[in-house]
Amino acid sequence: MNTTDARETPSHSLTDFVQATAERDQPGEVFELESDRMLEVNVQGRVWSKLGAMIAYRGQLTFKREGMMEGGLGNAFKKMVSGEMAPLAKIEGTGSAYLADAGKHITVLHLQNETLNVNGNDLLAFEDSVSYDITMHRRVSGMMSGGLFSVRLSGAGLVAIMSHGRPLTLRVTPGDPVMTDPNATIAWSGNLMPDLKTDMSLRTMIGRGGGETFQMRFDGDGFVVVQPFEEMPQVSGQAV
């Protein structure tokens, strides 16, 4: 008996293809995973997404780039100097938007009055009920070109994050810190504040950039999420 999923069949009829790849409706869900690499967002009002992540939509929706002054004057300054962090877009109206980014794996999280830090390049979407703030890691500033900025998400609502491949979550406990490659680090718990350390002995073991090897060090009680891939930061300026 052949148990191969229709989505993985190397050759099939057009009818089979349409049935196998058709969207799966789950009424009432704001975020629906059409696959592990594509997110359907059912908009009734406003949802935030990564700029450039929309691949299709239906309904009466508008897409607007995040304004410089949104989030306050402090965020405006951070946006001016955070060129490597992908900016956000507002999706407003009524309809469905389909989001994806470079074929990356998507994970949907439900914040329940909690806080999560996400690398700016790995944040796909979040509900308008979730507040955000751009965090500048001053201890890292001037020492490396990537990983300086993250988005701090707080409140209650759905958040979609991305990773190249399936992510791994590492527990951080007092007295047992976790060190990660900045370009493989996608998220960490809200109570942790990463520091940067340099280990010359690992310069040929970790990273592909040459020079000193920078690592993010997480101390305290929480978790850090990494991906099996070193992703270089993207420069902003792409279209919706």
For residue 23, the model assigns a pLDDT of: 62
The per-residue pLDDT string of the chain (240 residues; one tens digit each, 9 = 90 and over) reads 444 444 455 666 557 766 766 666 655 589 999 999 999 999 999 999 999 999 999 999 999 987 544 554 445 444 444 444 457 899 999 999 999 999 999 999 999 999 999 998 899 999 999 999 887 664 444 444 444 578 999 999 999 999 999 899 999 999 999 999 888 999 999 999 898 777 656 555 555 544 446 788 999 999 999 999 887 655 444 444
For residue 199, the model assigns a pLDDT of: 67
Residue with structure tokens 């991906």?
A: 227
Residue with structure tokens 């109570």?
A: 191
For residue 196, the model assigns a pLDDT of: 79
In a domain? residue 206? yes
In a domain? residue 19? no
Q: What is the domain count for the chain? A: 1
224 vs 187: CA distance, rounded Å:
6
Give me the CATH number covering residue 210.
Answer: 3.60.160.10
In a domain? residue 192? yes
223 vs 140: CA distance, rounded Å:
20
Distance of CA 24 to the CA centre of its chain: 23
In a domain? residue 7? no
In a domain? residue 221? yes
Report the b/e string of 165-197 with b at 16+ CB within 10 A.
eebeeeebeeeeebbbbbbbbbbbbeebebebe
pTM of the predicted protein model: 0.77
In a domain? residue 201? yes
In a domain? residue 211? yes
For residue 29, the model assigns a pLDDT of: 81
CA torsion 146→151→137→226, rounded to 10°? -60
Containing structural domain, residue 187: 28-226
In a domain? residue 170? yes
